[in-house]
Protein backbone atom coordinates (compact mmCIF):
# COMPACT_ATOMS: atom_id res chain seq x y z
CA UNK A 1 0.00 0.00 0.00
CA UNK A 2 2.87 2.32 0.76
CA UNK A 3 4.46 1.79 -2.66
CA UNK A 4 1.42 2.99 -4.61
CA UNK A 5 1.01 6.09 -2.46
CA UNK A 6 4.68 7.05 -2.11
CA UNK A 7 5.79 10.17 -3.96
CA UNK A 8 9.24 10.55 -2.42
CA UNK A 9 10.85 10.12 -5.83
CA UNK A 10 9.00 13.17 -7.14
CA UNK A 11 9.76 15.25 -4.06
CA UNK A 12 13.45 14.29 -4.07
CA UNK A 13 13.82 15.02 -7.79
CA UNK A 14 12.11 18.37 -7.39
CA UNK A 15 14.29 19.15 -4.36
CA UNK A 16 17.44 18.52 -6.40
CA UNK A 17 15.93 20.60 -9.20
CA UNK A 18 15.31 23.46 -6.79
CA UNK A 19 18.93 23.26 -5.61
CA UNK A 20 20.23 23.37 -9.20
CA UNK A 21 17.99 26.32 -10.02
CA UNK A 22 19.17 28.13 -6.87
CA UNK A 23 22.77 27.94 -8.08
CA UNK A 24 21.77 28.95 -11.61
CA UNK A 25 19.82 31.88 -10.19
CA UNK A 26 22.88 33.08 -8.28
CA UNK A 27 24.95 32.81 -11.45
CA UNK A 28 22.21 34.67 -13.33
CA UNK A 29 22.19 37.47 -10.76
CA UNK A 30 25.94 37.90 -11.14
CA UNK A 31 25.66 38.02 -14.94
CA UNK A 32 22.88 40.62 -14.74
CA UNK A 33 25.04 42.79 -12.50
CA UNK A 34 28.28 42.16 -14.39
CA UNK A 35 26.70 43.03 -17.74
CA UNK A 36 25.27 46.31 -16.44
CA UNK A 37 26.75 49.70 -17.29
CA UNK A 38 27.72 50.11 -13.63
CA UNK A 39 29.97 47.01 -13.68
CA UNK A 40 30.86 46.22 -17.32
CA UNK A 41 32.62 42.98 -16.36
CA UNK A 42 31.12 40.85 -19.14
CA UNK A 43 29.43 41.15 -22.51
CA UNK A 44 26.55 38.80 -23.27
CA UNK A 45 26.03 37.60 -26.86
CA UNK A 46 23.28 39.56 -28.59
CA UNK A 47 21.16 36.49 -29.26
CA UNK A 48 20.65 36.04 -25.51
CA UNK A 49 19.52 39.64 -25.04
CA UNK A 50 16.90 42.08 -26.32
CA UNK A 51 16.84 45.82 -26.72
CA UNK A 52 14.83 48.09 -24.50
CA UNK A 53 11.48 49.30 -25.84
CA UNK A 54 12.29 52.87 -24.79
CA UNK A 55 16.06 53.09 -24.29
CA UNK A 56 17.92 52.34 -27.54
CA UNK A 57 21.30 52.02 -25.82
CA UNK A 58 20.14 49.32 -23.39
CA UNK A 59 20.73 45.58 -23.88
CA UNK A 60 18.60 43.48 -21.56
CA UNK A 61 20.14 40.19 -20.33
CA UNK A 62 17.04 38.11 -21.07
CA UNK A 63 18.35 34.58 -20.47
CA UNK A 64 19.84 35.23 -17.00
CA UNK A 65 16.75 37.19 -15.97
CA UNK A 66 14.38 34.45 -17.18
CA UNK A 67 16.34 31.68 -15.46
CA UNK A 68 16.44 33.73 -12.28
CA UNK A 69 12.68 34.18 -12.47
CA UNK A 70 11.94 30.53 -13.18
CA UNK A 71 13.75 29.50 -10.01
CA UNK A 72 10.74 30.55 -7.95
CA UNK A 73 8.56 28.38 -10.18
CA UNK A 74 10.57 25.27 -9.25
CA UNK A 75 10.56 26.23 -5.56
CA UNK A 76 6.79 26.50 -5.79
CA UNK A 77 6.49 23.01 -7.26
CA UNK A 78 8.56 21.58 -4.40
CA UNK A 79 6.27 23.19 -1.81
CA UNK A 80 3.25 22.03 -3.81
CA UNK A 81 4.36 18.39 -3.72
CA UNK A 82 5.26 18.52 -0.03
CA UNK A 83 1.89 20.06 0.76
CA UNK A 84 0.15 17.47 -1.42
CA UNK A 85 1.58 14.61 0.61
CA UNK A 86 1.69 16.06 4.10
CA UNK A 87 -1.73 14.93 5.39
CA UNK A 88 -2.61 11.84 3.39
CA UNK A 89 -3.33 8.59 5.21
CA UNK A 90 -1.78 5.32 4.05
CA UNK A 91 -2.49 4.02 0.52
CA UNK A 92 -3.38 5.75 -2.71
CA UNK A 93 -5.63 8.80 -2.67
CA UNK A 94 -7.00 10.74 -5.59
CA UNK A 95 -5.00 13.76 -4.43
CA UNK A 96 -1.94 12.07 -5.90
CA UNK A 97 -2.97 12.79 -9.46
CA UNK A 98 -1.86 16.36 -8.74
CA UNK A 99 1.79 15.26 -8.76
CA UNK A 100 2.02 15.20 -12.57
CA UNK A 101 1.93 18.90 -13.41
CA UNK A 102 4.63 19.96 -10.90
CA UNK A 103 7.16 17.26 -11.77
CA UNK A 104 6.68 17.52 -15.54
CA UNK A 105 7.08 21.29 -15.38
CA UNK A 106 10.24 20.93 -13.26
CA UNK A 107 11.72 18.62 -15.90
CA UNK A 108 10.92 21.09 -18.68
CA UNK A 109 12.17 24.11 -16.74
CA UNK A 110 15.44 22.45 -15.72
CA UNK A 111 16.12 21.15 -19.23
CA UNK A 112 15.45 24.48 -20.92
CA UNK A 113 17.42 26.50 -18.34
CA UNK A 114 20.46 24.23 -18.52
CA UNK A 115 20.39 24.19 -22.32
CA UNK A 116 20.24 27.98 -22.46
CA UNK A 117 23.19 28.34 -20.06
CA UNK A 118 25.21 25.66 -21.85
CA UNK A 119 24.76 27.62 -25.09
CA UNK A 120 25.41 31.04 -23.55
CA UNK A 121 28.31 30.43 -21.14
CA UNK A 122 31.01 29.58 -23.74
CA UNK A 123 30.28 32.83 -25.58
CA UNK A 124 30.53 35.22 -22.64
CA UNK A 125 33.18 37.89 -23.22
CA UNK A 126 35.13 38.96 -20.13
CA UNK A 127 36.19 42.62 -19.89
CA UNK A 128 39.49 41.90 -18.18
CA UNK A 129 40.67 45.50 -17.89
CA UNK A 130 37.45 46.59 -16.18
CA UNK A 131 37.62 43.62 -13.82
CA UNK A 132 41.21 44.37 -12.93
CA UNK A 133 40.46 48.04 -12.28
CA UNK A 134 37.57 47.06 -9.99
CA UNK A 135 39.72 44.50 -8.16
CA UNK A 136 42.22 47.25 -7.33
CA UNK A 137 39.63 49.26 -5.43
CA UNK A 138 39.01 48.98 -1.70
CA UNK A 139 42.51 47.95 -0.54
CA UNK A 140 41.91 44.35 -1.62
CA UNK A 141 45.46 43.32 -0.66
CA UNK A 142 45.20 44.52 2.95
CA UNK A 143 44.89 40.96 4.26
CA UNK A 144 47.97 40.00 2.25
CA UNK A 145 49.90 42.78 3.97
CA UNK A 146 48.72 41.52 7.36
CA UNK A 147 49.83 37.97 6.48
CA UNK A 148 53.19 39.33 5.31
CA UNK A 149 53.77 41.18 8.58
CA UNK A 150 52.76 38.11 10.60
CA UNK A 151 55.34 36.04 8.71
CA UNK A 152 57.91 38.58 9.88
CA UNK A 153 57.19 37.42 13.44
CA UNK A 154 54.69 40.10 14.50
CA UNK A 155 51.53 38.95 16.37
CA UNK A 156 48.38 39.23 14.26
CA UNK A 157 46.73 41.74 16.61
CA UNK A 158 49.69 44.08 16.01
CA UNK A 159 49.73 43.30 12.29
CA UNK A 160 46.05 44.19 12.16
CA UNK A 161 46.78 47.59 13.69
CA UNK A 162 49.71 48.20 11.32
CA UNK A 163 47.57 47.48 8.27
CA UNK A 164 44.73 49.57 9.63
CA UNK A 165 47.04 52.57 9.89
CA UNK A 166 48.37 51.92 6.38
CA UNK A 167 44.84 51.82 4.97
CA UNK A 168 43.90 55.02 6.80
CA UNK A 169 46.98 56.66 5.28
CA UNK A 170 45.93 55.37 1.86
CA UNK A 171 42.46 56.82 2.23
CA UNK A 172 43.96 60.16 3.22
CA UNK A 173 46.45 60.27 0.34
CA UNK A 174 44.34 58.54 -2.29
CA UNK A 175 46.86 55.73 -2.71
CA UNK A 176 46.37 51.99 -2.81
CA UNK A 177 48.79 49.91 -0.72
CA UNK A 178 50.61 48.80 -3.87
CA UNK A 179 51.05 52.44 -4.91
CA UNK A 180 52.82 53.47 -1.71
CA UNK A 181 56.60 53.71 -1.61
CA UNK A 182 58.64 51.47 0.65
CA UNK A 183 59.41 54.49 2.83
CA UNK A 184 55.70 55.21 3.23
CA UNK A 185 54.97 51.63 4.27
CA UNK A 186 57.91 51.51 6.66
CA UNK A 187 56.49 54.35 8.71
CA UNK A 188 54.00 51.76 10.01
CA UNK A 189 56.54 48.97 10.60
CA UNK A 190 60.29 48.65 10.17
CA UNK A 191 59.81 44.95 9.44
CA UNK A 192 58.37 45.80 6.01
CA UNK A 193 61.04 45.40 3.34
CA UNK A 194 61.20 45.60 -0.45
CA UNK A 195 59.77 42.09 -0.94
CA UNK A 196 56.41 43.36 0.32
CA UNK A 197 55.51 44.42 -3.21
CA UNK A 198 55.47 40.76 -4.25
CA UNK A 199 52.34 40.29 -2.12
CA UNK A 200 50.71 43.67 -2.68
CA UNK A 201 50.07 43.07 -6.39
CA UNK A 202 46.84 41.39 -7.49
CA UNK A 203 48.86 38.58 -9.04
CA UNK A 204 50.78 38.06 -5.81
CA UNK A 205 47.59 38.07 -3.77
CA UNK A 206 45.95 35.46 -5.98
CA UNK A 207 49.07 33.27 -6.15
CA UNK A 208 49.52 33.30 -2.36
CA UNK A 209 46.52 31.00 -1.82
CA UNK A 210 48.37 27.96 -3.12
CA UNK A 211 46.38 25.11 -1.57
CA UNK A 212 43.42 22.92 -2.53
CA UNK A 213 40.48 25.22 -3.08
CA UNK A 214 42.79 28.25 -3.25
CA UNK A 215 42.99 30.94 -5.90
CA UNK A 216 46.51 30.23 -7.17
CA UNK A 217 46.34 29.63 -10.95
CA UNK A 218 47.76 26.12 -10.70
CA UNK A 219 45.14 25.23 -8.07
CA UNK A 220 42.34 26.57 -10.26
CA UNK A 221 43.65 24.54 -13.21
CA UNK A 222 43.87 21.45 -11.02
CA UNK A 223 40.30 21.93 -9.78
CA UNK A 224 39.07 22.33 -13.36
CA UNK A 225 40.86 19.12 -14.35
CA UNK A 226 39.30 17.22 -11.45
CA UNK A 227 35.86 18.43 -12.50
CA UNK A 228 36.43 17.44 -16.14
CA UNK A 229 37.74 14.02 -15.10
CA UNK A 230 34.66 13.47 -12.91
CA UNK A 231 32.33 14.42 -15.76
CA UNK A 232 34.18 12.10 -18.14
CA UNK A 233 33.41 9.13 -15.87
CA UNK A 234 29.67 9.73 -15.99
Task: Kindly give, in sequence order, each residue whose CB lies less than 8 Å from that of residue 132, ignoring residues fewer than 6 positions away.
Answer: 202
Shared-domain flag, residues 7 and 102: yes
Shared-domain flag, residues 11 and 101: yes
Domain harbouring 104, CATH code: 1.20.200.10
pLDDT at res. 67: 96
Shared-domain flag, residues 181 and 69: no
Does residue 210 lie in a domain region?
Answer: no
Other CB atoms within 10 A of residue 152 CB: 13
pLDDT at res. 57: 65
Shared-domain flag, residues 105 and 63: yes
**Are 1 and 90 contacting, i.e. CB atoms less than 8 angstroms apart?**
yes
- Length of the chain, please? 234
Shared-domain flag, residues 44 and 75: yes
Which of 102, 127, 152 is the last residue before a domain boundary?
Answer: 127
Which of 73, 107, 127 is the last residue before a domain boundary?
Answer: 127
Does residue 115 lie in a domain region?
Answer: yes
pLDDT at res. 50: 83
Shared-domain flag, residues 6 and 121: yes
Which of 127, 161, 176 is the last residue before a domain boundary?
Answer: 127
Shared-domain flag, residues 116 and 24: yes
Does residue 87 lie in a domain region?
Answer: yes
Rounded Cα–Cα distance for residues 217 and 207 (Å): 7
Shared-domain flag, residues 181 and 144: yes
Rounded Cα–Cα distance for residues 190 and 196 (Å): 12
Shared-domain flag, residues 50 and 160: no
Work out whether the CA dihedral 107, 109, 110, 111 comes out positive or negative: positive
- Please identify every stretch of the chain with a pLDDT value under 50, giving residue numbers as ranges: none
Shared-domain flag, residues 21 and 105: yes
pLDDT at res. 34: 95
Domain residues for 149?
Answer: 136-200
Give residue 42's region: left, alpha or beta (phi > 0; psi -120 to 50).
beta
pLDDT at res. 109: 97
Shared-domain flag, residues 164 and 140: yes
Shared-domain flag, residues 71 and 27: yes
Secondary structure element (H or E) that encloses residue 101, with its range: helix 100-120
Domain harbouring 159, CATH code: 1.10.40.30
Q: What is the DSSP letter of 88?
A: P
Q: What are phi and psi of 29, to 5 degrees?
A: -60, -40
> pLDDT for 29-43, tens place per residue?
999 999 998 999 999
Does residue 206 lie in a domain region?
Answer: no
Amino acid sequence: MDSVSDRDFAIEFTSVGALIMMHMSRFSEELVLWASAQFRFVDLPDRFCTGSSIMPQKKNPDVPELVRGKTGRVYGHLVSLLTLMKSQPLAYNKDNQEDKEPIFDVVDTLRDSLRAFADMAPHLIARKDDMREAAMRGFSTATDLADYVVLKGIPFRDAHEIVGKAVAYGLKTGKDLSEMTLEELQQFSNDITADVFDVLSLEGSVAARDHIGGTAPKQVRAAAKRARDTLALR
